[in-house]
A and B are shown apart, each in its own frame.
Chain A
Amino acid sequence: MVSVGTVVWLSSELMFFAALFAMYFTLRAAAPEMWATESAKLNVPFALINTIILVSSSFSCQMGVFRAEDLKPRRTGGLFNFKEWGMVEWFILTFILGAIFVSVQAYEYTELVHHGVALNSNAYGSAFYMTTGFHGLHVAGGLIAFLLVIGRAYIARNFGHFEATSAIVTSYYWHFVDVVWIALFAIIYFLK
């Protein structure tokens, strides 16, 4: 029941991002010369590394889901024995990777503001910060969700399907946000 609701909600989230894409392309069509000059200021290799970090967090998240489905919340081996990791360890790794993504993006924002691309500078700045910013807020929300799920795993004496379900739906959300970023990245940094 929880997972059906999550998928329906995520499909509506897809339309939210569709509206942001529509905004981006509307402004791009209205001011193509601005897009040419402003998008040249983007640091593509830097953003590519950040993208790889976010995509890898999706894999660690999925490993955590597999452990949650095995009803294995905590590791049974040493800290670096990845095979014996439980859901909590994989989700903490996911949290760290997601936090790096958001931090690097914040750093990228400061760099761009120094180069004169700000939210209030022009249409390109508005489109760039609204699209990537709303995505960043989604990532930050996902990080909070991971903390809550990890907390549930710690608080439960018997890790059961109640805890596993919340872990699984959080992973749905995380994968969704990840896929949206890949689309955003392709549009903003490559299509330009």
Chain B
Amino acid sequence: MKIESWLFLGGIFFFIPVGIVYGVMTEWNEWVGFPALFMVAGMAGMIGFYLYYTAKRVGPRPEDRLDGEIHENAGVIGKFAPWSWWPLMLASAAAVGFLGLAIGYWILYLGVGLAVIGIIGWVYEYSRGDHAH
């Protein structure tokens, strides 16, 4: 985990100095550039610190150790749908909605209605029916 944390955290050490240099050269009068550069540092930091603290929490993973074995990574890593029609449904709803922006607003309302069905269907797919728990 160390490498992937520092891969992102490294961005901080580039973008903050660059932002400061930018600020000094524009005498901090130009407010578009240096906040944007600092925010890029923030973007890198968000992912980097998240990975860093997650790494601290979970400890060294098998792929971080020289004596790690493939079977040690067996087990549940998350909940993934093996098949689901809902992403397709939601994407179609978005497509209909954008079609509405291009052609006529009345189509947008159809897209919104379909999107509501798609979101609810997707979110509750593993909470109802055969999957109720």
Contacts and interface: CB of A to CB of B under 8 A. Distances in A.
Given A1-B78, A162-B126, A21 B43 contact: no
Contacts of B133: 156-158, 160, 162
A29 interface: yes
A18 B123 contact: no
Interface string A164-190: 011000000000000000000000000
A152 B124 contact: yes
B123 A152 contact: yes
B50 interface: yes
A185 B42 CA distance: 18
Interface string B72-83: 000001110000
B126 A7 contact: no
Contact of B42 (A8, A14, A148, A160): A14
Contacts, number: 69
Interface string B106-128: 00000000000001100110111
B35 A155 contact: no
B46 interface: yes
B77 A1 contact: yes
A157 B79 contact: no
A49 B41 CA distance: 30
Query: Could you tell me the dominant secondary structure of chain B's interface residues?
Result: helix
Nearest to B29: A29
A26 B43 contact: no
Nearest to A28: B31
B50 A25 contact: no
A169 to B, nearest CB: 12
Nearest to A144: B119
B27 to A, nearest CB: 13
B78 A155 contact: no
Contacts of B119: 144, 148
B46 A10 contact: yes
Contacts of B128: 155
Contacts of A28: 31
A79 interface: no
A181 to B, nearest CB: 15
A4 B128 CA distance: 26
B47 interface: yes
Given A2-B79, A11-B46, A18-B36, 10 more contacts: A7-B46, A7-B47, A8-B47, A18-B35, A18-B40, A22-B35, A26-B32, A29-B30, A151-B124, A165-B79
